[in-house]
Structure 1
Amino acid sequence: MSNWKKGPRAWVKWGLIACITVLICFLCYRIEAGGRQFDHEFDDGSRVSIGSPDQEMSQRLHKLCRVWGFAKYYHPKILKGDVNWDYELFRVLPAVIGASDEEEVNAVLYGWIHKLGTVKENESEEKGEIALEAGTDWIYDSSYLSPELSSLLINISKSGYIDKNRSYVSFDNIMVPHFTGEESYPDMNYADQGYRMLGLFRYWNMIEYYYPYKDIIGEDWDSVFLEFLPRFMEGTDELSYKMACAELTTKIHDSHAYAFDEAAALMGGVLIAPFTFTHTGENIVVDGIDADYPPGIETVLPGDIILKTDGIEIWDYIAEKSKIKSRSRDTVVLNDLPEDIFRGYADEITLTVKRDDEIFDIAVPCIERVRSESSNEPEPVSHRLLENSIGYIDPGALKAKEIFTIMEEFKDTLGIIVDLRHYPSDFIVYSLGCLIMPEQKNYVIMSRPSLTVPGRFILDKPMYVGVDNPDYYKGKVVLLMNECTQSQAEFTIMALRQAPNAVVIGSPSIGADGNVANMVFPGAVHTSMTSLGVYDTDMSQTQRVGLTPDIYVEPTIQGIREGRDELIEKAVEVILESASS
């Protein structure tokens, strides 16, 4: 009998221990993960209805956007992952919309932020020259905010909170921001005005606090919010929302920015005309026919100038296609739009072309594929020896560390041509730099986001390329570039042009340099931006400007017709002149 009694007591005891253990594990998990993922109140919809905001309501929502974004990136409680700040927006919106006047709006916002708790002030210990600050002067304006709300936000701005591991944005070891804390809401109801507004609020604040070139976008960012608010609020369907997202990304004028969605609503078609083109002067010129071009029918030819597409003047047609394509420079076409201009759903497009002095129409068939995935195109080769003992290197076809083998092969050549019209497949800034330079030289200054002050970018010390190397390559080094030279290719040119025998030939680069940060809108619309600032050694801009060649060369229509690469021809000429002098 005693054993029987002892048995149940033991089971109760062990059961209690198990329950406590499970509870402790759950609490530890919740602390580690942060509490925001346990908030599911608005999983099925925001329950927010705004209608069409008038001017007064638009200004009110702009203020809410500012306060929401400021708290999101500054307040420790949100940074710790304890609050679902998306859903808090949905909770406060009805009170903000329904407020009778601005005094009541400010009171609502004060109560909303105040309930997050007090913030301990900490002085930032980060050193370095400031390159950019977010526009947060408005938190000091007690006529725009109430004195109480202004004082509260000023206090929060001094938090200096560093731990971002569970926040909406975190950073890697080189301070590239990662917005991995953001929910993509792939099953979003596109008629839900709360979620549509969240898309605008989220992106606007990402740019406000973490875009290193906000000072040169050429747009008033507050005005952009007011411009796009009705765009986000007006539609009820998937395409109108995703088009608004895509067009918003163009306002930062950054060729690193793009917009695509997993449902392919923004693709603009699955059929593409099977030819390539280039941009020379004011002309769009066919420069190649794809191997997949259907045989046995009339075709465009290299050198044909495209005047119209389906009866629309080519530049008007390009302008329409460019509406959702962010571009660092408005004149750039070849880089940002090569596979989008002649993409659609029709089986063919009609081009009006000029060939010599004749103007006529050609019906061009369109095929279903992405040009870069064509199986009929030949594989590129990483290097080859040209006539007259000149080496040619295609950085876009390099294998890892192959550059050392190539340079050993080319060590006795008169010169090398490094074709940075192609995006490098291997990072050769330092590997090739140490082979072509006799000593170290500074080549770039970068800015990185502050860990403690959102919106602040701090300048690094100058970066150096090259090593002390008396056996450096003595031949001429020619770097080729055009508007397709972007990002790492631009960074590579900035470094390699420091070599004593280097010269850059071609046309200006795109002007989009610095590591990329990826973001997502609600509705799983993905986008990106340049996340680190890149400046020349004299602190002049490269973004939206591009790098300038030492010798300007662009293709001519005659050269395209004859199948010549005039940049390579000029490079050979420069190398031979250097060798003979």
Structure 2
Amino acid sequence: MKGFISFLLFWSVNLAAQTTPVNLDFSQVAEQMPIGWNIQGNEPEVITREHPTSSGQSLRLSRTETSSDSFAYAAQVIPFDFIGKTLKLTGWLKTEQVSADGGAALWVRLDSGSNLAAFDNMAENMLKGTKAWQQIELSMEVPPDVDMLTFGTLLAGTGTAYFADLKLTLDDKPLEEAPKPTFIASEPHEFEQDSGIRISQLSTAQQQHLAVLAKVWGFVKYYHPESAKGNISMDAELFRLIPQLLTVSDTERDKKLITWINQLGELTPCDKCKESSEAALVHPAEFWLGWNLSAELNQQLARIYATELPIPHYWVKPAPRVANPVFNEKPYTDISYQDSGFRLLSLFRLWNIIHYYSPYRDLTEQPWEQVLLDAIPAIVSAKSELDYQLALAKVIYAIHDTHSQFNTRDLTLLRQFIGLNNVPADIRFIEQHAVVFKVYQENLPIRVGDVITHIDNKTITERMEYLRPLLAASNEPTRMRDLARLLLRTNDSKSEVRIMRDNQPLTLQLPALPLNTIERQNYYYEHGNSAYHRITPEIGYIRLDRIARVNLDEMMRSLANTKGLIIDIRNYPSEFVVFSLGQYLYPLPYRFVSFTRMQPDNPGQFNWSEPTIVGQVNPNYYKGKIAILINEQTQSMAEYTTMAFRGAPKAKVFGSTTAGADGNVSRITLPGGYWTSLSGIGVFYPDKTPTQRVGIVPDVFVTPTVAGIKAGRDEILEQALQYLQAD
């Protein structure tokens, strides 16, 4: 019982949030699963005709002694932006032979930012044994500042439970009909479709004015209490300010900004807000003094900074439990790319989000203020839609975060820029060469191990420079990983490739096929088709990209008597198994990670968390050696998983530099159908050693060789096997 209660209390929500509860009667089904529900740990046959009135369907949760995990659940997550006092979840439950050590229940959880605000899972009244249909009601008072609702059904132990006709009400009204707060910032404004601003070129002075505006506007957006309450449409304010500042002197510019700030609302100073003495990352005191503003404007910004911010903040709030930032921005999906005002809004929005809410902003190679200054003329003067997209992509590149990629709802222009077709082969960068790693069509003149020097008369370096704006990455190995996927793209039906083979130059004519006709291999190495097997009679092998829905207890029992265990994380885990698998690897709890998280009342500040623990007291932990395999395809959750497992007794990490992009992802919506993301929390070892950009440093550094690729060897696996098989 304790396991699933802890799970619900400390669960980090990874589900996609919906806007309202859906399919509470389980009548909408796709591929035999109820639409809108996330279901885990259950046996097959989820939807049944069992029903208290015989006129509908029910959700069936069922578990046996061999079921995966320790409980089954169904869940939905929705933003809680309603006004009300009493929340109720009601539903019908029926049980069959539910074990005494478990139970069936409804559950509700309310979060306020990163804090659990309220929780009920019928812990004292769970249904056990065999019970006829009965209606259950959970009722809770809604605490202030709640912003996320998670609810659902659960079954612990063994047996079967049926759930039917759930209802959510707030003050006895259906939740979707409950009133919501209104904000001026979310209301339509006069510039929704067009800012009315068109700029063909900028003088140096105008560029400087716009850079100042970007910084002051962003400062006011996040620090002014009226803006933080949602009482100011900051986008509309920007569109009013831009024309005013294009034809003025520095002095007049600052006076106009002061006049604008004065009409935004009263400021009440606070005495002890924005405490940052223990911060992991924070802007320097009075950081705006470096913006070359007038003394009076500096004083005005100081007064704003010295004001206490309301919580929650309209523009940004911490995600439930995890506390990565969730941004509240209008998308303006249908505006024209030619609109200079919306171009500048995109840049200013992106620049300020990184400036205040990236836990890794100190790791950008170029000063972030210089990125802004360089981007303004490029963004404004872009002649075509593609030029504008590439100018935005260049700003995102400067973040140096593999999670930060340029995305657009319409990929037509970018696909044409890269190439609509692809030579049916894959490349890897090995020993600083572009080496053919995989060939997908028989009878091609190109071979695995060939070193490519030119593609359509362009050197690899020239091709890389052409594609560079689209190669945003935390480190160079990851950039080269992504470049390799794009090198052989072309808009022609064939491509001329020059190679070196056995020290002999060759020129090859190769076909280029539409992308959707080539079934490419996801990862460099894919040993076996199952989640686990014995790679030798005495060595177990686990690949985490196949680990979803595997019964971990059964898996570890089958591998318990092996001499060694390989955990291959040169992929992306198909299920989060840090704690569920980690408990089998450790004899005692182990501290493996510390986070830095945004401080809602002081934009730009990140505070340290207490270290997170994996494992538990377990005398029956796995006793053999462990080899963890990583490379540049190990990214984000895969890197986090490596951190969690590497501290196990007799564990060593083999391979090369990982992607260096860890931390829950926060989406940044930009006008015009564009978006990007950032790593929203800082991820460090407990001793505060960083992982971002650095990646996971292996204990045994192994990189593939051209000779090894040509021979079809997995050199990282070979090194791991030597370690495991040695006495």
Scaled by the length of structure 1, what TM-score is found?
A: 0.88
Deviation track 1:367-405 (CA, whole Å, cap 9, x = no partner) reads: 223589669999942122112321111101111354333
C-alpha distance in 2, partners of 1:375/1:336? 14
Q: Name the count of aligned residue pairs.
A: 544
Show the counterpart of 1:279: 429
Deviation track 1:155-195 (CA, whole Å, cap 9, x = no partner) reads: 2213332423642555333211112x212222222222111
Show the counterpart of 1:232: 379
Greater mean alpha carbon deviation, residues 62-71 or residues 129-138:
129-138
Give the aligned CA root-mean-square deviation in angstroms. Answer: 2.5
Alignment of 1:82-231 (within 5 A): 82-99=231-248, 101-122=249-270, 123-124=272-273, 129-134=278-283, 137-140=286-289, 144-164=292-312, 166-167=314-315, 171-179=319-327, 181-231=328-378
Return the structure number with greater helix share.
Answer: 1
Deviation track 1:192-227 (CA, whole Å, cap 9, x = no partner) reads: 211111111111101100111111211111111111
C-alpha distance in 1, partners of 2:414/2:285? 34
C-alpha distance in 2, partners of 1:274/1:135? 52
For residue 418 of structure 1, report the CA deviation from its aligned partner: 0.7
For residue 30 of structure 1, report the CA deviation from its aligned partner: 9.7
Residue number among 449, 452, 459 corresponding to 2:601 in the alignment: 452
Q: In structure 2, what residue type is equivalent to 1:153?
A: L
For residue 315 of structure 1, report the CA deviation from its aligned partner: 2.9
C-alpha distance in 2, partners of 1:273/1:404? 44
Q: In structure 2, what residue type is equivalent to 1:344?
A: T
Q: Is the 8 A contact 1:477 1:502 kept in 2?
A: yes
Closer, same or farther: CA 562–331 of 1 in aligned 2, 3 Å: closer
Alignment of 1:25-424 (within 5 A): 32-99=181-248, 101-122=249-270, 123-124=272-273, 129-134=278-283, 137-140=286-289, 144-164=292-312, 166-167=314-315, 171-179=319-327, 181-264=328-411, 265-267=413-415, 268-290=418-440, 293=441, 295=442, 297-369=443-515, 380-400=529-549, 402-424=551-573
Q: Is the 8 A contact 1:260 1:266 kept in 2?
A: no
Q: Secondary structure at the match of 2:478?
A: coil
C-alpha distance in 1, partners of 2:550/2:188? 49
Q: Secondary structure at the match of 1:53?
A: coil
Greater mean alpha carbon deviation, residues 492-501 or residues 297-306:
297-306
Closer, same or farther: CA 439–71 of 1 in aligned 2, 3 Å: same
Q: Is the 8 A contact 2:276 2:605 kept in 1?
A: no
Q: Secondary structure at the match of 2:283?
A: coil
Q: In structure 1, what residue type is equivalent to 2:262?
A: H
Closer, same or farther: CA 405–126 of 1 in aligned 2, 3 Å: farther
C-alpha distance in 2, partners of 1:107/1:39? 29
For residue 333 of structure 1, report the CA deviation from its aligned partner: 4.1
Deviation track 1:481-524 (CA, whole Å, cap 9, x = no partner) reads: 11111111111111111011101111121211111111122111
Q: Secondary structure at the match of 1:98?
A: coil
Q: Is the 8 A contact 1:275 1:289 kept in 2?
A: yes
Q: In structure 2, what residue type is equivalent to 1:250?
A: Y
Q: In structure 2, what residue type is equivalent to 1:94?
A: P
Deviation track 1:125-183 (CA, whole Å, cap 9, x = no partner) reads: 87882111135734357x9333443232222213332423642555333211112x212
Structure 2 residue 722 is the aligned partner of structure 1 residue 573: yes
Bigger RCO (CA 8 Å, 6+ sep): 1
Closer, same or farther: CA 380–158 of 1 in aligned 2, 3 Å: farther
Q: Is the 8 A contact 2:478 2:658 kept in 1?
A: no
Structure 1 unmatched ranges of 5 or more: 1-27
Structure 2 unmatched ranges of 5 or more: 1-176
Alignment of 1:386-535 (within 5 A): 386-400=535-549, 402-535=551-684
Closer, same or farther: CA 504–358 of 1 in aligned 2, 3 Å: same
Q: Is the 8 A contact 2:566 2:628 kept in 1?
A: yes
For residue 328 of structure 1, report the CA deviation from its aligned partner: 1.1
For residue 324 of structure 1, report the CA deviation from its aligned partner: 2.2
Q: In structure 2, what residue type is equivalent to 1:37?
A: S
C-alpha distance in 1, partners of 2:405/2:296? 40
C-alpha distance in 1, partners of 2:322/2:661? 18
Q: In structure 1, what residue type is equivalent to 2:676?
A: T
Q: In structure 1, what residue type is equivalent to 2:405?
A: Y
C-alpha distance in 2, partners of 1:337/1:484? 13
Deviation track 1:87-117 (CA, whole Å, cap 9, x = no partner) reads: 1101111211232x22211111111112110
For residue 274 of structure 1, report the CA deviation from its aligned partner: 2.0
Q: Secondary structure at the match of 1:473?
A: coil
C-alpha distance in 1, partners of 2:687/2:517? 40
Deviation track 1:450-475 (CA, whole Å, cap 9, x = no partner) reads: 11000111111122221111111001
Structure 2 residue 691 is the aligned partner of structure 1 residue 542: yes
For residue 446 of structure 1, report the CA deviation from its aligned partner: 1.1
Closer, same or farther: CA 186–523 of 1 in aligned 2, 3 Å: same
Show the counterpart of 2:127: none
Closer, same or farther: CA 559–74 of 1 in aligned 2, 3 Å: same
For residue 432 of structure 1, report the CA deviation from its aligned partner: 1.9
C-alpha distance in 2, partners of 1:135/1:68? 19
Q: Is the 8 A contact 2:274 2:602 kept in 1?
A: no
C-alpha distance in 2, partners of 1:372/1:234? 38
Q: Secondary structure at the match of 1:485?
A: coil
- Overall identity of the aligned pairs, in %: 33
